[in-house]
Amino acid sequence: MGRFAQKFAQLQTQNQGAFVPFVTLCDPDFDRSFEIICTLVENGADALELGFPFSDPLLDGPVIQAANNRALQAGCSSKESFELIAKVRSKYPEIPIGLLLCANLIYAQGLDNFYQSCAEVGVDAVLVADIPLLAAEPYIQTAKKYGIQPVFICPPNADEQTIKAVAENSEGYTYLVSRAGVTSAENQQSAVNLDNLIEGLKKYGSAPVLQGFGIAQPQQVKEALNLGVAGVISGSATVQIIEQNLTDQTKCLAELADFVKKMKNATAL
């Protein structure tokens, strides 16, 4: 049983949903990023979703775009990102780790090299944000070759065929996007048909569903879990705390700790 499956099984016995923060690796630099990730884990994060710094992120709004730029300006590439994951995995052998990144970062290294590196540093799952299911077969096969779980996004406008394909191909977890558009903590609107999408994914045997995009408040965590998802992902709201405290790491870590505790407390079912 993989780390995500173990975590979801554990949470189910505890009557809890999952709280999964997202951060960009090496934001604002390697050492501070490691401290940030440790703070997330030690204050209640059930799993981690991590992004590789990239100059042209497709799904990200201004907050996460800025995080990418900070990491790149700090000299962090995919090499340093893998090194940081290895350091996190060494300290936290049980935490599930998923990556969310763009295909160019994988293609530049070659699929085999990339997924082999993921396996070597202890990544559990990889979501390639800009690869549609129609073009995903090489990524799926290479991921599985190295024991990495492929994850796919279920968009808010998904039709029956898309829901079925996402459910059948996602492993570890399934990423349900709350609404159309890019990532943002400010835009907290959700699509009106999320309950139908969740029901459809479950009908086709989907991996546990995590809802993301605009999750910034404990009340939203409760609302999402009430719809039937297994947990939530919070990216922009998490990264915004880093952005607001770039000159004071102690304050940054304290605010992140408080945020994670509040969001995790809201996962009690």
> How many separate helices (H) and strands (E) can be counted in the chain?
12, 9
Please report the DSSP string for 172-238 in residue order: S-EEEESSSSS--SS-----TTHHHHHHHHHHTTPPPEEEESS--SHHHHHHHHHHT-SEEEE-HHH
pLDDT tens per residue, range 125-167: 999 999 989 999 999 999 999 999 999 999 989 999 999 999 9
60 tagged catalytic: yes
Contact of 166 with 209, CB cutoff 8 Å: no
Distance CA 98, CA 77 (A): 18
Q: What angle do CA 22, 125, 115 make, to 5 degrees?
A: 115
Read off the DSSP letter of residue 75: T
For the record, the structure tokens of 11 come out as 């949470």
Pairing mode, if any, of strands 48-51 and 231-234? unpaired
> How many other β-carbons are positioned within 10 Å of the β-carbon of residue 15?
9
pLDDT at residue 188, as a whole number: 42
pTM, to two decimals: 0.94
Of 27, 49, 80, 171, which one is the catalytic site residue? 49
Q: How does the average pLDDT of the chain come out, rounded?
A: 93
Q: Which of the two residues, 86 and 58, has the higher pLDDT score?
A: 86
Distance CA 35, CA 40 (A): 9
For the record, the structure tokens of 102 come out as 């763009």
Cis peptide, bond prior to residue 28, ω within 30 of zero:
yes
Q: Report phi then psi at 151, rounded to 5.
A: -120, 140
Distance CA 94, CA 99 (A): 16
pLDDT at residue 61, as a whole number: 77
Distance CA 232, CA 225 (A): 8
pLDDT tens per residue, range 176-227: 998 544 444 444 444 558 999 999 999 999 999 999 988 999 999 999 999 9
pLDDT at residue 193, as a whole number: 80
Distance CA 252, CA 209 (A): 29
49 tagged catalytic: yes
Distance CA 260, CA 43 (A): 6
Instruction: Please give the share of the chain, as a percent, with pLDDT higher than 70.
Output: 93
For the record, the structure tokens of 258 come out as 């408080």
Of 27, 46, 60, 124, which one is the catalytic site residue? 60
Distance CA 213, CA 165 (A): 21
pLDDT tens per residue, range 105-115: 999 999 999 99
